[in-house]
Amino acid sequence: MGANGRVVASSRERPSLRRVFRLRPVGEAGPLLTAASYAIVIVACVVTLGPFFYILTTSVKDSGLLFQYPPDWIPADFFWGNYTFLLEQTSFLRWMLNTLVVALSVTVLKLLFDSMAGYAFAKMRFPGKNVLFVVVLATLMIPFSAILIPLFFLVRDLGLLDTYWALILPPLANPVGIFLMRSFIESLPNDLENAARLDGCSEFAVYRRVILPLIKPPLVVLAVLTFLIQYTSFIWPLVAVSSEDMRVLTTGLAAQRGVTSIDWGTVSAGGIMAMIPITIVFLALQRYFIAGSLAGALKQ
């Protein structure tokens, strides 16, 4: 019996998940169930890796051999002309630089602004806080297509078209990061920040010295998601910039499409090379991303 008078079951009396759901260890599963499990995994791998394998093989083929029958899935001789064409005849490296500059800038600024806004909405007290937070969340219901034209005229009137600022500033208004930061910071105990205030810390010092070290998992999640979204953004960069030197990867590769034909070998080679930076970022932060994604679910 517990301190509050309730009967508490001992660890031996509590039914385990295995008993409740009638789960069996992997080694005790029947051969048919084991074979079905492996078959499902193999089919999932084929479905997932199939498109990537097709794009990879297409990038090392001459475009004239793509539509021959029967198809040559693995070419006998690799054709590297698609890659050399992109690197020598187009501004691919410039597009890559623009994409990385925009994606990294938006990611860093959103981590700063969204964490500060999340701290303000979660811990600080000011008039109209709840109403303002509802208004911020209400902007999520407005589709981007509805504000695309007004946003274009606003950026044009500010003289920012065809600049880095035109690609960096509008994405900062996405309130998803504010909601994520507020939800996590709100679950932190108030005793930590109160103790810091008693020691003479200002609000910004409390945010920098107490809050930031505790919200690293959601910051990593927000950083990865923001970088992925900005790296693959297409609609707004297509509208905001027009010069060759200011294009990003998505718009630059789309411009390689001809009026009457498409050089699929060149487009596939560009897609493969564009995957390299984003794959490196995800693999480097994979462990922290998974830990941060599970942090909120495992928090008691």
pLDDT digits (tens, 9 = 90+) for 76-105: 778 888 899 888 888 999 999 999 999 999
Give the helix, strand, coil percentages of the chain, each rounded to 5: 70, 0, 30
pLDDT above 90 covers what percent of the chain? Answer: 30
Alpha helices, DSSP H, located in 60-91: 81-89
pLDDT band at 75 (very low <50, low <70, confident <90, very high): confident
Q: What is the pLDDT of residues 192-240, one digit of tens each?
A: 888 888 888 888 888 888 888 888 888 988 998 899 999 999 999 999 9
Q: At what angle do helices 286-298 and 264-284 cross, to 10 degrees?
A: 60
The sign one gets for the Cα dihedral 169, 175, 178, 180 is negative
Residue 21 has pLDDT above 70, yes or no: no
| Residue 15 CB burial class (10 angstroms; 0-12, 13-18, ≥19) | exposed
Domain with CATH 1.10.3720.10 in the chain: 87-298
pLDDT value of position 289 = 67
pLDDT value of position 297 = 45
pTM recorded for the entire structure: 0.78
Least confident range of 28-32, 126-130, 197-201, 213-217: 28-32
pLDDT value of position 151 = 94
DSSP structure class, residue 268: H
Class of domain 87-298: mainly alpha
